[in-house]
Structure 1
Amino acid sequence: MNAQITADEARARLDALADPKILAVNERHGDDHAVNLTKLRALAKDIGADQELARELWAGGGSAARLLAILICKPREFGRDELDAMLREAGTPKVHDWLVSYVVKKSKHAEELRLAWFADPDPVVASAGWALTTERIAKKPDGLDLDGLLDTIEAEMRDAPERLQWAQNHALAEIGIRNPGLRDRAVAIGEKLQVLADYPTPPGCTSPFAPTWIAEMVRRQAE
């Protein structure tokens, strides 16, 4: 651990790791960081947890710096409004996804933010609410209106913007996988909407098309 590293030194180390080939690949997915994520994680491990540095790196902007900030921060030390502001300025898909997965999900404000973001008019913010809802479906479903979620998905998912559509599709799959009593309905909704039915899926990988995804996960559970 290097507790004495400054934000400028951390950024210099990120700059030294930048690779134009990595940037070119990431740009095809809407991201703009040029650092290999394995190397980024190694740098974070070398620095260790440092909340003050994490806040400095986030405030200074730049996707690589913000990804590093996410890896070295202490999630429970962020306030509710601070996390809300961070999500709205996250910018790229990778920063957004890591912030939700590595920080917000571990925060004491996760449920409050889930409820606030779920119906936000900004579809990217709403996608974070759906991601947190999917976490609840998988781990703490008590109190969730799963039938109501399926109603919303059936009504909205086909025409939803891409990031929101992906998040709703994940929720649909998790409902079908985790709830045998709702599985037929979840599959039927997926078949009706055909969202991601033609998504190119490499050999050996599971299609994100909900009916296929549900069937494969249920099959694995039965093994």
Structure 2
Amino acid sequence: MTETTVAQVLAELAELEDPRMRRVNEKRGDDHGVNLTRLRAIAKRIRTQQELAVGLWETDDTAAKLLALLICRPKAFGRDELDTMVRQARAPKVHDWLVNYVVRKNPHAEELRLAWTADPDPEVAAAGWALTADRVVKNPEGLDLDALLDAIEADMKDAPDRLQWAMNTCLGHIGIHHPEHRARAIGIGERLRVLEDYPTPPNCTSPFAPVWIAEMVRRHNEG
């Protein structure tokens, strides 16, 4: 197989750049204009290449960073590498994919979750809370849910947007998946009113925690 270079990939991504898509993405803070379906097709063709992924991540190109996260080996990164990467991941989509596709699959995930949740940088703290929300659903043993609710109640209202979203996600999952904490989770949501007015498309559930929790519990009960 012919080795793919960073320069070749960047050239291919440049050809896929769509100014209209860039304008749409930039409204969400993502500075790229590459269709994500096409980006995934490139990743599928290239397959896993850790060295190439590292080279793409080191560029200043957001689409290249996204591609890097699709072709890397999540378990190949060390703790300090991931800590550096999360501090470099300022575009929302890069931040989300880094946490969801890489950090969650890495053996240092729990250590980083604890460190990041307490980090003074709200972008980094958001990554920690996203990992915590995942644990609330998939592996809650050992989590102090009351303490998490205390922190959410104290800090979510005035948190920056990305951190607020991650904390609200954690709040919702606690209410949905842990009935013994549901009333308190709903109560916190009702008092703080975070994301109450979030624009929600038709047939989608509002991220406002009381509405979201009630709808997910209803679906579960009906299922």
Normalised-by-shorter TM-score class? over 0.9
Structure 2 CA distance for aligned equivalents of residues 89 and 200 of structure 1: 29
Aligned residues: 222
Instruction: Report the equivalent of 1:74.
Output: 73
Structure 2 CA distance for aligned equivalents of residues 71 and 195 of structure 1: 32
* Deviations 1:35-71 (CA, angstroms, capped at 9, x unpaired): 0001100011011000000000001221000000000
Counterparts in 2 of 1:178-193, with a 5 A limit?
178-193=177-192
Instruction: Report the equivalent of 1:52.
Output: 51
* Alignment check: 8 A CA contact 1:41 1:68 kept: yes
Instruction: Report the equivalent of 1:112.
Output: 111
Structure 2 CA distance for aligned equivalents of residues 149 and 107 of structure 1: 23
Instruction: Report the equivalent of 2:121.
Output: 122
**Shift of the alpha carbon at 1:3?**
5.5
* Deviations 1:71-94 (CA, angstroms, capped at 9, x unpaired): 000000000000000110112111
Instruction: Report the equivalent of 1:38.
Output: 37
Q: Which amino acid aligns with 2:24?
A: V
Structure 2 CA distance for aligned equivalents of residues 58 and 129 of structure 1: 21
Local SS of the residue matching 2:4: coil
Counterparts in 2 of 1:78-97, with a 5 A limit?
78-97=77-96
Q: Give the alignment's Cα RMSD to 1 decimal.
A: 0.8
Structure 2 CA distance for aligned equivalents of residues 71 and 160 of structure 1: 30
**Structure 2 residues not aligned, in runs of 5+:** none
Structure 1 residue 206 corresponds to structure 2 residue 221: no
**Shift of the alpha carbon at 1:177?**
0.2
Q: Which amino acid aligns with 1:204?
A: N
Q: Which amino acid aligns with 1:43?
A: I
**Structure 1 residues not aligned, in runs of 5+:** none
* Deviations 1:79-114 (CA, angstroms, capped at 9, x unpaired): 000000011011211101100000000001100100
**Shift of the alpha carbon at 1:220?**
1.0
Question: What percent identity do the matched residue pairs reach?
Answer: 64
